[in-house]
Structure 1
């Protein structure tokens, strides 16, 4: 079952929508699904639906609501891709993290374990790292996170497990950035990095030309095992 809910900001001065997918029975745990730069589109909703099929309550907050509520863009359509880049340039990431924290608070206690995870993609992968460092989330996963090299100073604040999926041919995350990530994070016992040799950004998208079926399935299986362990 799916629905759209309204969540109050932490300050109580506004509210934003979120897509929620619920499992057939009592949820094992809750997972916040953090959007790409394309908004809460069909692919992100499908991510939520798949998590619900696996027994989780999944929620995807509309993080662009301050710029333009209800954004849904297709990365395979060039004008929409450019619009997404413009939105990312205007997006206030600190405010976005506070909205993710509001979503975490909204769903905490709605499941058997009471635990909440987060999984994000692209911009959402970066935000998943920030969520791990700045909130009380119980476990986080980032797919092809961008700009993590600029956040490494925050790794000391990561209190719960974090997994990052890193495609080695990511056009948005070059070899130097990947090396900085490994150098800084490999020694951190809270963080696990998985490399995907020769793959590009967006390989685990649900729809469109970016998807690599085998790698997406491998990454998703690792994510499923990770959440099963840390959200029980």
Structure 2
């Protein structure tokens, strides 16, 4: 476990948290953060995915405004800051930063078997990333605003979406749109987790649900193994 430097398309240096699998030939995984930075939860998720057999890089996507930021989801002021930083993001540049991460991870590993997994804000970004990057497949956990992202998306890498039934970001018509978009895309899957709220897979989070988390992992692993 350590941090590596990623050189972005505009020549900047971005840190990414790295956790490597014991198998150096294992697939790569770009882990895409929530709005709270590469905090303890994201570092734990990086370790978890490495233990499942992936070489993981989790880039610090807020580095242009607040490098090294670690926010606490239970602190309202810090939550507000995370939302503010997400809204101020240059989305196209962020997607380029993710592609720089993928490309340099692939170069390090010596192969292009790279997938991506995103949570919350990352759950949206991973879907957009699946269109712009040659990743093999992706996993979206409770992605925000997917009802707006998916209709104009076009062709993209295969994706599995995990949706929390009680998530206010994916209520009513929004979920209907998302599920309809998934249904018409070859290789895409979506699952709704009954009784679960947003961030049900965040380690030690207030809405963490062990059973739903375990099932989502099983489904994600079966899905990703088809492609890498």
- TM-score, normalised to structure 2's length? 0.95
CA distance in 2, matches of 1:224, 1:113: 20
Q: Tell me, yes or no, if the aligned pair for 1:203 and 1:211 is still in contact at 8 Å.
A: yes
Deviations for 1:14-58, whole angstroms, at most 9, x for unmatched residues? 111000001223241000000000011111111111111122100
The match for 2:23 among 22, 25, 49 is 25
Q: Cα–Cα, structure 1 residues 228 and 111, in superposed 2: closer, same or farther, change >3 Å?
A: farther
- TM-score, normalised to structure 1's length? 0.93
Q: How many residues align?
A: 228
Deviation larger for 146-155 or 53-62 = 146-155
Q: Tell me, yes or no, if the aligned pair for 1:29 and 1:112 is still in contact at 8 Å.
A: no
Provide the aligned C-alpha RMSD in A: 1.5
Q: Displacement of 1:202 after TM fit? A: 0.4
CA distance in 1, matches of 2:45, 2:119: 10
Deviations for 1:119-163, whole angstroms, at most 9, x for unmatched residues? 0000000001001111111111100011111112343221x2111
Unaligned segments of structure 2, at least 5 residues: none
Matched, 1:8 2:7: yes
The match for 1:69 among 23, 46, 67 is 67
- 1:144: which partner in 2? 142
Q: Tell me, yes or no, if the aligned pair for 1:168 and 1:175 is still in contact at 8 Å.
A: no
- 1:100: which partner in 2? 98
The match for 1:205 among 202, 205, 209 is 202
The match for 1:129 among 127, 130, 150 is 127
Deviation larger for 213-222 or 86-95 = 86-95
Matched, 1:84 2:55: no
CA distance in 2, matches of 1:74, 1:223: 26
Deviations for 1:193-230, whole angstroms, at most 9, x for unmatched residues? 11112311100001221211110111111112222221
